[in-house]
Amino acid sequence: MTLSRTRLQVMWNRLLAVVEEQGQALIRAAFSPIVRECGDISAGIFDIRGRMLAQAVTGTPGHINTMAEAVKTLCARFPADAMQSGDIYMTNDPWIASGHLNDFLLMMPVFHAGRVIGFTACTSHLVDLGGLGMGPEGADIYDEGLLIPPCKLVESGEINTLLMEIVKANSREPVANEGDIYALIACCEAGATRLARMMTEFAINDLDTLADYIIDTSARGTQEAIAALPKGTFHNVLTVDGYDAPIDLHAALTIAEDHLLLDFTGTARCVEKGINVPLNYATAYAVFALRCIIGPDIPNNAGSLAPFRVTGPEGCILNAQSPAPVAMRHTLGQMTPDLVYGCLAQAVPDQVPAEGASCMYDLPLRHTADAATKGDTQFALELVFNGGTGARPTLDGLSATAFPSGVWGSQVETTEATAPVIISKRELRVDSGGAGTTRGGLGQHIELTAAQPQDLMLFLSVERVNNPAKGRHGGLDGAAGRITCGDRTLPGKGEFRVKAGETLTLETPGGGGFGPPQDRDRAALRHDITQGLVSEDAARTFYGDRR
Res 410 pLDDT > 80: yes
How many CB atoms sit inside 10 A of residue 265's CB? 11
Rg (CA), the chain: 23
**Alpha helices, DSSP H only, in 311-360?**
330-333, 336-347
DSSP assignment letter at 380: E
pLDDT tens profile 366-378: 999 898 899 999 9
Give the mean pLDDT of 315-319. Answer: 98
Alpha-carbon distance of 462 to 357, in angstroms, equals 10
**In this prediction, what percent of the chain has a pLDDT beyond 90?**
94
Alpha-carbon distance of 418 to 511, in angstroms, equals 31
pTM of the model: 0.96
Res 128 pLDDT > 60: yes
Contact 98, 75 (CB under 8 A): no
Return the pLDDT at 434. Answer: 98
Res 547 pLDDT > 80: no
Res 281 pLDDT > 80: yes
Contact 41, 58 (CB under 8 A): yes
Alpha-carbon distance of 54 to 43, in angstroms, equals 9
How much is the mean pLDDT over the chain? 96
pLDDT tens profile 94-126: 999 999 999 999 999 999 999 999 999 999 999
182-220 burial string, b = 16+ CB within 10 Å, else e?
A: ebbbbbbbbbbbbbbebbeeeebebbeebbebbbebbbe
Give the mean pLDDT of 388-392. Answer: 98
Alpha-carbon distance of 457 to 455, in angstroms, equals 7
How many CB atoms sit inside 10 A of residue 448's CB? 24
Give the mean pLDDT of 329-352. Answer: 98
Burial class of residue 149 in the structure, from the number of CB atoms within 10 Å of its CB (0-12 exposed, 13-18 middle, 19+ buried): exposed
Alpha-carbon distance of 382 to 35, in angstroms, equals 10
From residue 94, alpha-carbon distances to 67, 185, 200, 330, 433 in Å are 11, 20, 37, 12, 35
Strand partners, 423: 448
pLDDT band for position 546 (cuts 50, 70, 90): low
Alpha-carbon distance of 42 to 125, in angstroms, equals 10
Return the pLDDT at 133. Answer: 85
Residue 495 in 3-state DSSP? strand
Judged by average pLDDT, the poorest of 266-270, 280-284, 405-409 is 405-409
Burial class of residue 47 in the structure, from the number of CB atoms within 10 Å of its CB (0-12 exposed, 13-18 middle, 19+ buried): buried
Give the mean pLDDT of 432-459. Answer: 96
Burial class of residue 504 in the structure, from the number of CB atoms within 10 Å of its CB (0-12 exposed, 13-18 middle, 19+ buried): buried
Give the mean pLDDT of 174-203. Answer: 97
pLDDT tens profile 49-81: 999 999 999 899 999 999 999 999 999 999 999
Q: What's the chain's length in residues?
A: 547
Res 1 pLDDT > 70: no
pLDDT tens profile 484-504: 999 999 999 999 999 999 999
Return the pLDDT at 2. Answer: 78
Alpha-carbon distance of 543 to 520, in angstroms, equals 8
Distance of CA 316 to the CA centre of its chain: 21
Res 545 pLDDT > 80: no
Tell me which of 414 and 511 has the higher pLDDT: 511
Q: Which of 270, 234, 229 is nearest to 251 (CA)?
A: 234
Instruction: Give me the phi and psi of 138, to 5 degrees please.
Output: -65, 145
Q: Which of 387, 465, 402 is nearest to 433 (CA)?
A: 387
pLDDT tens profile 220-237: 999 999 999 999 999 999
pLDDT band for position 3 (cuts 50, 70, 90): confident
